[in-house]
Amino acid sequence: MATQVATPLYDQLTESFQQRKFAWEDEDHALNDWRQNAFEKFKQQGFPSIRQEDWKYTNLVPFLKEDLQTGAFAHDLHEAVIERVRKFYIDKLDAHVLVLVNGVLNVHLSSFHGDGTVSVQSISTAAKQEDYLPYLGKEIDLRHDTLAALNSALFSDGLFIEVKANSVVDKPLHILHIYTSAKNVFLQPRHLIIAHKSSAVSIIESSANINEDAIVWINGVTEVYVEENAQVNHYMLQSGLIKTRQVNHTEVTQHKHSLYNNYTITLPGADLTRNNLNVNLNDSATETHLYGLYLGTDQQLIDNHTSVDHRKPNCFSNELYKGVLAGNAKAVFNGKIFVHQEAQKTNAFQQNNNLLLSDKAVVDSKPQLEIFADDVKCSHGSTIGQFSPEALFYLRSRGISESSARRLLVSAFAFDVVNKIKIAPLRAHIEKLINNNLKSWYVSK
């Protein structure tokens, strides 16, 4: 058995799994067996440790000390609080809004319930259908991802979005994750998104913790299937209050001539944000773009682990992640590109750039290439630096104050990522959030 992180939560989750077996009696037998297998994987490994290479720079121990409740927490928000939820809408964004409260779809707060182009339902409903099981956990390696194994064993609800073949969803789907609890909670939502052949959809995810007193620990898994000639634009806007800890596992599977674009924007607030983004290129002639921007301050820890697995020929992937850190913030970037022997004519590019605004901020950056094909074009790079004195002097010499000059330079640094966002109201919203954060940092003093 692997060395485990010592925490009462481990024993609590073990007890919870035994108790909840009875609630899953109406599930498919194959799903029950899959849950049991997943929990055995978690029991063998326990919580991740810094002794594991993928968790070398992210120590979970400080975030697992408090007592956490592990049951179901579908807080009873209803129409009376719609105004409270609307303040988290994105200004001027014309979108179908889906509201999840503690990982559970709330039909009263949602403005969209599916139409002829897309089906929307809860995972708890979908799990009872035969066509759901073949997609569940198809690509996730539970032997090496112990938190994904834990989620696989104990998830109870989430969102299932299925875009019909040859359909284009007329508006973006805005998934608003609301977290609220008077007590410290450990939540495990599970989401499945399927874009069938020749379909197209844009999905925006944002979150809000509306209770400042309690710890909210989120161990979430999202699976995305992009079938032949389909397109998915996936925007992930991450923020949260202090006492929010979130580990997000996103597993993407692409098929021939498909396009997947991911935009992950992490803003200051949450104590811990860990993103595991794995993209599996299972067929030829696919295209993948991964863009990330993370801003950290205070004691915040932001960890981005990405993996792009080129398995077939003539595929293209491009990855650009940028980070800006102030205070005592710490960031980790680990980007892996695998090119299998069969994946000839692969074009794969990866770049990670970091800007440090404090002597105490830390970045651990590790771009990786593993290439087993000989006819490819691949490159990767990483930079970590501070403000250019020449650039600051240039702006100051033209009458711009030092604080304004620093904000301009940070905005310019982030531009390469933010400018890739195709939805104008979302881009304006993110630019506003970035500027608001910069004003509160030392660069504005």
Specify whether the CB–CB gap between 180 and 148 falls below 8 A.
Answer: no
Q: Specify the pLDDT at position 6.
A: 55
- Mind listing the pLDDT tens digit for each residue in 289-348? 999 999 999 999 999 999 999 999 999 999 999 999 999 999 999 999 999 999 999 999
Residue written as token pair 């202090």 = 242
Query: Quick one: which of 417, 445, 428, 437 has its CA closest to 296?
Result: 437
Q: DSSP secondary structure string, 91-142?
A: TT---EEEEEETTEE-TTT-S----SSEEEEEHHHHTTSTTTGGGTTSS--T
Measured in residues, the chain has a length of 445
For residue 288, give the nearest of 219, 338, 238 by alpha carbon: 338
Alpha-helix residue ranges (DSSP H) falling in 201-287: none
- pLDDT, average across residues 399-420: 91
Indicate whether 401 pLDDT > 60: yes
* pLDDT band at 77; cut points 50, 70, 90: low
User: Within a 10 A sphere around the Cβ of 92, how many other Cβ atoms?
Assistant: 10
Q: Is the dihedral of CA 20, 21, 26, 32 positive or negative?
A: positive
| Three-class DSSP category at 178 | strand
Longest alpha-carbon distance in the chain: 72
Per mean pLDDT, which range of 4-18, 152-166, 251-265, 332-346 is the poorest?
4-18
Cα angle: 332, vertex 147, 53; to 5 degrees: 45
Residue 58 sits at the vertex; the CA angle it makes with 244 and 385, to the nearest 5 degrees, is 100
Specify the pLDDT at position 79: 47
Residue 444 has pLDDT above 50, yes or no: no
Sign of CA dihedral 40, 46, 51, 53: positive
- Mean pLDDT value across residues 23-40: 84
* pTM for the whole structure: 0.95
Dihedrals phi, psi of 248, to nearest 5 degrees: -115, 120
pLDDT at 1 over 90: no
Higher pLDDT, 220 or 2: 220
Q: What pLDDT is attached to residue 399?
A: 86
Instruction: Please tell me the predicted confidence (pLDDT) of residue 440.
Output: 78
Q: Is 233 a residue whose pLDDT tops 50?
A: yes
Residues 6+ apart with CB under 8 A from 286: 254, 255, 256, 257, 258, 259, 260, 312, 315, 316
CA torsion sign for 149, 152, 157, 160 is positive
pLDDT for residue 443: 45
CA atoms within 13 A on the CB side of 244: 27
CB 284 within 8 A of CB 256: yes
Whether the predicted pLDDT of 389 surpasses 90: no
Residues 246 and 253 sit within 8 Å (Cβ to Cβ) = no
pLDDT at 129: 79
Residue range 366-371: average pLDDT? 95
Helix axes 402-418, 424-440, angle to 10 degrees: 150
Cα–Cα distances (Å) from 261 to 98, 109, 160, 254, 367, in that order, read 21, 28, 19, 11, 20
The confidence score (pLDDT) of residue 445 equals: 43
Q: What is the mean pLDDT of residues 60-77?
A: 78
The residue written with tokens 């994105």 in the block is 90
* The predicted structure's pLDDT at residue 126: 86
Average pLDDT over residues 243-253: 96
Cross-strand pairs, 161: 120, 193
Say what percent of the chain tops pLDDT 70: 95
Least confident of 88-97, 161-170, 436-445: 436-445
Name which of 175-184, 204-213, 258-267, 433-442 the model is least confident about. 433-442
Residue 75 binned pLDDT confidence (cut-offs 50, 70, 90):
low
Q: What is the DSSP letter of 286?
A: -
Query: Is residue 304 within 8 Å of 333, Cβ to Cβ?
Result: yes
**What is the rounded average pLDDT of the residues 216-220?**
96
Mean pLDDT, the chain, whole residue set: 91
Average pLDDT (357-383) is 95
Of 63-67, 319-323, 388-392, which range is least confident? Answer: 388-392
Q: Are strands 104-105 and 96-101 parallel, antiparallel or unpaired?
A: antiparallel
User: Residue 53: phi, psi to the nearest 5?
Assistant: -60, -40
How far apart, in whole angstroms, are the C-alpha atoms of residue 288 and residue 317? 5
Give yes or no for a contact between 156 and 127, defined as CB atoms under 8 angstroms apart.
Answer: no
Mean pLDDT to the nearest integer, 124-139: 85
Q: Which range among 233-242, 262-271, 435-444 shows the weakest confidence by mean pLDDT?
A: 435-444
